[in-house]
Every structure is written in structure tokens, then in C-alpha cells.
Amino acid sequence: MSHVFYRDMNVTYPKISHGKGIYLWSTDGKRYIDAASGALVANLGHGREDLARTLYEQAQRVTFAHTLRFTTAAQEEFATRVNDALGAPGWYTYPVSGGSEATETVVKLARQIHLERGEPERYRVLSRRASYHGNTLGALAASGLAERQRPYYPLLSEAFVQVDPPKAACPGISEHGTCACLSPFEQAVQQFGAETVAAIMVEPVGGASRSGFVPHTGYLPGLRRLCDQHGIILILDEVMTGFGRTGRMMGYEHDRVTPDLITVAKGLSGGYAPLGAVIASQPVYDIIRTGTGRFAHGLTYSGNPLSTAVGAKVLEILTQENVVANAATQGARLVAGLETLSTQYSWVRAIRGHGLMRGVLLEPRAGLAQQLVSRAWDAGIILYLGHGEAEGGDGEHFLIAPPLIIAPDEVDDLLARLHDIFAIVDRELS
Ligand SMILES: Cc1ncc(COP(=O)(O)O)c(C=O)c1O
């Protein structure tokens, strides 16, 4: 009898034996194509010896040195590589252990920046419905998912406010020449008073709650302008989109905006160690550096040598093996195949996303996405089930997001298998 406190006690979980590239095997011999990279984590694929070696070598040197007292070569190299990957204007990395920790950290950092600037009345954090920023209490309060928030409402701070997300079909350009989808944020800033708003936080491309949704051109630049106009900090949650997933190093590069603060996790370590980070741009970093010079925050495992050594190695591999370019090329191959597939079934509404972060939007028929994801699972293909339709999303959806190292013949094989799965579901529907 197991003593594991499972996420769902009604499920018998297959036991994973090992992984290699885009594949996972369970101990009963079943092979899975990991077309979700776990949860957009295993970006460099499974079972890499170079990353195993990085962990071994770092473990031989040192596995823990408290960041209260020390820095390490691993942490230094990791931060330098993040800075090099992002380029101008200069970036400073605060490592943590995952996406939710990054969200908690970034909110405190945004608040402290305003305190340092002498604006203590700024505390509100605006985000969107149909969004996900994590599961800890602050991150959950920032996530626009009423179904997940509801049991914890008494514990969630009202400092977090969610506004309507952009529409799939943009209603047009506003009088300010920006995307009209921005008006929910504009109205919230007006309603609460800009002087109380600390930050606006969004995912550049829809993730768990809006599989691959790409906002209208002008939306993110418009948000940037809105933040600049009112002294609000722009936080981009790149936990899913960051470091190559969208076919560019960062998701925001598609929109040519520069955020003030960025949260990253998941693919940052490729799943080889728990790692997340808050990345601060030079100007906001300077506010603290020239102020108190100290971020009033700390977590025991921040900057952990094993995790940051892995992060540094992942960033090295991304560049050396042209992984980001492969994500763009194979993403184009995948989307071409998915477009062909989608035209055969009236219940598929759209294929969306960038690079190897592709969302399939289905008609709003309850349980349809789950049905597809389950049939795929039976056939040994792991897809990422979306949620959030009830929050102003646009229908049932799921993500296809294989490791960024996927080869062209593996994309073709995945597409052929998806063809079979869609045909099975279509027969079940008729
Ligand atoms: C966009 C985004 N932000 C934050 C998180 C939270 O990350 P974690 O599960 O590592 O805490 C997630 C997780 O799915 C996410 O997709």
C-alpha cells in the first residue's frame, strides 16, 4: 500500500521508469509521446546525459550555500546567461524554485519598488480573467480562475483584481490608437485610481487558461504605454512562454515590448531541477540598488547551486544547439499539419499560438477537450488540458507543446497519430 498523498486519490497513476528525448516509458512498458513536455517543462527532452552530468558535477562541488551569506559560481553563471539571452537593457535574476514562488516574489518586488519610490499607496495588482499565475495564495489571488479560487476566497487578498481578457476577435482600435481590448485595464486604472495600482501582470501568450491565445497586435505595446503613463510596473509572466517555447527566446519578443519584471520557471531548467526566477530590468533594479539596496524577501532554496547550475547549462544548450530556431521551424511544421487536420472537423474552431506552444480551440461543448486528451492518453500521447472557459475564455481547448528538440519526423509521427485520435473522437460524437 502506498503512503503517497496523491493529487487525486481516485486515480491509479502509472509509474514512470525512464525518459529519452520526447518519449517517456512507464514500468508496464507503455511508451508515451510527451507532447506536453510534462507541463511545458521538459523543453530539452528527457534523459539528457549532459544535464545529468551537470547535476553530478555540481553535487560533488557543493549542493547548498545560503544566499544570506554566499554566492556561488553556479548562481553567477546562471544570472549572466539570463542577461546574455535577454540582451539590452540589462537584467538581474533572482532565482527561486518554481513559477508560483516567482509570482509571489515578483508581487513583493513590485510593491517594494513603489515603497522605494516614495509611493506607499500603490499596492493593487491587476491581472486578467482566464489567466493562471500559480497556486500559492498570492499567485492564486492573481489568477483569473474563479473555480480554483472559490474554496479559498476568504484567504485571498482583495489587492488582486482581475479584468476581462482580450477577445478572440478584437472589437477594434480605441480612440488612443491602441487595441480596444485594453479598455478593461484602462477602466480598472481609472476606477481604482492609478495612484493605488502597483503592477499589471499578464501572460504574453495564453497558457493553461487560454491555450495559445495570441492577443491582437498592439495589445502588449498598448499595455506598456498604459503602465508608463501611470507609473505602473509591467510584469510579464513568461513561466510557460520563456526561453524558446514560442520560437523566440522570450514571448514578449513577438510584440517588441520590454517589461519591467519577468517571471520564469518550467523550461528554464528543462525539468532537471526545480527552478524559477524573477528577472528585473536595469531601471527597476536600479531603483532598489540606489535606494535601500536590499530586497526584503528571501527563501531558503533561492539560488540553490544544483538548480542554478542546471539553469546555466540549459541556457548554454539553448544557444549552442539552436534550440529556439528549431522550436520556430518545427512549430511551423506542426501548425501546418494541425491546420489541415482542423479543416476536417467542424468542432475544431482554431489553431493558435507561436512556435511549439500550439493551442487547439474547440467548440464550447462541455467535456470535449477532456475527451480528446483522454483518447490521446489511451494512445500514448500526452496533451495539456486547458481550463478557464467560464472566465471569458472562448471555448474548450488544449495545448500541444512537445519538447523544443523535436525532430521533423517526430512532428510528422505526432500529427499522424493526432489524425487517428481526432477521427476516433469524431466517430464518438456522431
Ligand atoms: C503562466 C504560469 N505562471 C505560473 C505558473 C505556476 O508555476 P508552478 O506550477 O511552477 O508553481 C504556471 C503553471 O502552470 C503558469 O502556467
Q: How confident is the model at residue 340, as a pLDDT? A: 97
Q: How confident is the model at residue 176, as a pLDDT? A: 65
Interval 5-26: pLDDT, tens: 999 999 999 999 999 999 999 9
Q: How confident is the model at residue 391, as a pLDDT? A: 77
Residue 175 has pLDDT above 70, yes or no: no
- The packing angle between helices 323-343 and 305-320, to 10°, is 70
Residue 164 has pLDDT above 70, yes or no: yes
Residue 177 has pLDDT above 80, yes or no: no
Q: How confident is the model at residue 144, as a pLDDT? A: 95
Q: State the distance from the centre of ligand 1 to the C-alpha of 128, rounded, in angstroms.
A: 15
CA-to-CA separations, 213 to 5, 61, 289, 352, 361, in angstroms, rounded = 34, 43, 37, 6, 9
Q: How confident is the model at residue 170, as a pLDDT? A: 78
Sheet hosting strand 160-163, strand order edge to edge: 91-96, 276-281, 261-264, 233-237, 197-202, 124-128, 160-163
* Number of residues in the chain: 430
What residue owns the CA closest to ligand 1's atom 7? 99
Lowest pLDDT segment from 62-76, 162-176, 250-264, 369-383 = 162-176
CA-to-CA separations, 271 to 47, 117, 151, in angstroms, rounded = 10, 37, 30
Mutational pocket test of ligand 1: of 105, 266, 384, 385, the residue with most ligand atoms within 8 Å of the beta carbon: 266
Q: How confident is the model at residue 394, as a pLDDT? A: 77
Mutational pocket test of ligand 1: of 43, 239, 278, the residue with most ligand atoms within 8 Å of the beta carbon: 239
Q: Which whole number is the average pLDDT over 83-99?
A: 97
The CA distance from 229 to 233, in Å, is: 11
Residue 371 has pLDDT above 80, yes or no: yes
Q: How confident is the model at residue 136, as a pLDDT? A: 98
The CA distance from 156 to 202, in Å, is: 19
Atom of ligand 1 at shortest range from CA of 136: 11
Q: State the distance from the centre of ligand 1 to the C-alpha of 104, rounded, in angstroms.
A: 11
| Domains of the chain, start order | 16-47+322-429 (3.90.1150.10), 52-320 (3.40.640.10)
Q: State the distance from the centre of ligand 1 to the C-alpha of 209, rounded, in angstroms.
A: 11
Q: State the distance from the centre of ligand 1 to the C-alpha of 176, rounded, in angstroms.
A: 33
Say how far residue 265 (Cα) sits from the centre of its chain: 7
Q: State the distance from the centre of ligand 1 to the C-alpha of 30, rounded, in angstroms.
A: 28
Residue 355 — very low, low, confident or very high, per pLDDT cuts 50/70/90? Answer: very high
Calculate what percentage of the chain has a pLDDT beyond 70.
99
**In one letter, which amino acid is 287?**
I
**Furthest-apart CA pair in the chain: how many Å?**
66
Pocket of ligand 1 (CB under 6 A): 39, 98-100, 103, 132-134, 203, 207-208, 237, 239-240, 265
What residue owns the CA closest to ligand 1's atom 10? 99
118 versus 390: which is more confidently predicted? 118
Q: Which whole number is the average pLDDT over 352-356?
A: 98
Residue 132 has pLDDT above 70, yes or no: yes
Q: Which whole number is the average pLDDT over 176-189?
A: 87
Measure the CA angle with vertex 404, ends 400 and 410; round to 5°. Answer: 70
Look over the chain and give the mean of its residue pLDDT values, rounded to a whole number.
96
What residue owns the CA closest to ligand 1's atom 3? 133
* Residue among 167, 228, 218 at smallest CA distance from 197: 228
Sheet hosting strand 397-400, strand order edge to edge: 348-354, 357-362, 397-400, 384-385
The CA distance from 295 to 266, in Å, is: 24
Residue 168 — very low, low, confident or very high, per pLDDT cuts 50/70/90? Answer: confident
Residue 3 — very low, low, confident or very high, per pLDDT cuts 50/70/90? Answer: very high
Q: Which whole number is the average pLDDT over 206-228?
A: 94
Calculate what percentage of the chain has a pLDDT beyond 90.
92
Burial category of 234 from C-beta neighbours within 10 Å (exposed 0-12, middle 13-18, buried 19 and up): buried
Q: How confident is the model at residue 174, as a pLDDT? A: 67
Q: State the distance from the centre of ligand 1 to the C-alpha of 240, rounded, in angstroms.
A: 7
Write out the three cell numbers for 341: 487536420
Q: Is 173 helix (H, G, I), strand (E, B) or coil?
A: strand
Write out the three cell numbers for 383: 496533451
Mutational pocket test of ligand 1: of 7, 97, 103, 132, the residue with most ligand atoms within 8 Å of the beta carbon: 132
Q: State the distance from the centre of ligand 1 to the C-alpha of 134, rounded, in angstroms.
A: 5
Mutational pocket test of ligand 1: of 128, 145, 205, 240, the residue with most ligand atoms within 8 Å of the beta carbon: 240
Q: Which whole number is the average pLDDT over 277-290?
A: 98
Mutational pocket test of ligand 1: of 37, 41, 100, 201, the residue with most ligand atoms within 8 Å of the beta carbon: 100
Interval 31-62: pLDDT, tens: 999 999 999 999 999 999 999 999 999 999 99
Residue 167 — very low, low, confident or very high, per pLDDT cuts 50/70/90? Answer: confident
Give buried/exposed letters for 114-150 (b at 16+ CB in 10 A, else e).
bbbeeeeebbbbbbbbbbbbbeeebbbbbbbbeeebe
Q: State the distance from the centre of ligand 1 to the C-alpha of 172, rounded, in angstroms.
A: 31
Q: 89: cis peptide before it, omega within 30°?
A: yes
